[in-house]
Amino acid sequence: MSDAVRPAQQQEPPGLTEPMIPRPDHGEHSYTGHDLLTGRRALVTGGDSGIGRAVAIAFAREGADVAISYLPQEQEDADETARWVRDAGRECVLLPGDLCDEETARGVVRQAVDALGGLDLLANVAGFQMARRESFDDLTTEDLDRVMKTNLYALFWVTHEAVPHLPEGSAIVNCSSIQAYQPSQSLVDYAATKAAINNLTVNLAAELGPRGIRVSAVAPGPIWTPLQPATQPPEKVETFGRDTPLGRAGEPAEVAPAFVFLASTVTASYVSGTVLGVTGGKPVF
């Protein structure tokens, strides 16, 4: 992966892929499947763009049918993800809706189960951050509600609804973050949700292990997704990811294989309750 030049740029949240300079790499032309998820049925939240799109494409190329949830205003991105999933010869179910609403979040699971005929894999990728603030004093209750409900409440609701449908051998893979370990001051609320997701992952792994359901998480570092120009000050986009040991931001395509590894019984049948870092060298401990 080259260290692409990212000029100062900004969008309104939640952000779209098309206006990004350069466009993120989701593995569209590089990811090769190895039948690691053949016959599986997956729900990917936030599957329209960024890491979620890369995961949906990778899951499909590994043989899984995929349902993706996304905000209605992200339909353009969702349609593009669906095109790549279907190009892989797999079914793609589109489920628009705001997961900050409990009934919507639970309904997305029910719709995925109905459309796919069941559920074996859950990738909780949907997330939100807002780094356009100067200090803790600028944090509002409205901001806090959006971050907490998107990152944490929705994950609880979706997972709670999904678990009764997951048979033995299923897997849940949550999306944590380097922010759980090295929190930025401007992302105090976001970082708190990611630390909570780590805790939830370990707790669920202990509870669901006897039922043959594995629960793990991936902790990405700075990854080039629409969330960055939509929530970061423009000047920070230019240096995004330069503070990692590898000296650059990662691409969504570099995160998706970690989700595949944790989801597959071929590669991770004895892996549960762990958080796998994909951080460009930043430590996750």
What positions carry a catalytic annotation? 190
Cβ–Cβ under 8 Å, residues 51 and 125: yes
Which residues, other chains included, contact 171 with Cβ-Cβ below 8 Å and sequence gap of 6+? Answer: 120, 121, 122, 213, 214, 215, 216, 262, 263, 264, 265, 268
Q: Which helix (H) or strand (E) holds 75?
A: helix 75-87
Q: E strands, the chain, where? A: 41-45, 65-70, 92-96, 121-124, 171-175, 214-220, 275-278
- Give the integer Cα–Cα distance in Å for 212 and 195: 25
Any long-range contacts for 136-143 (C-beta under 8 Å, 24+ apart)? 136/185, 136/188, 139/188, 139/189, 143/189
Q: How many CB atoms lie within 10 A of CB 23?
A: 12
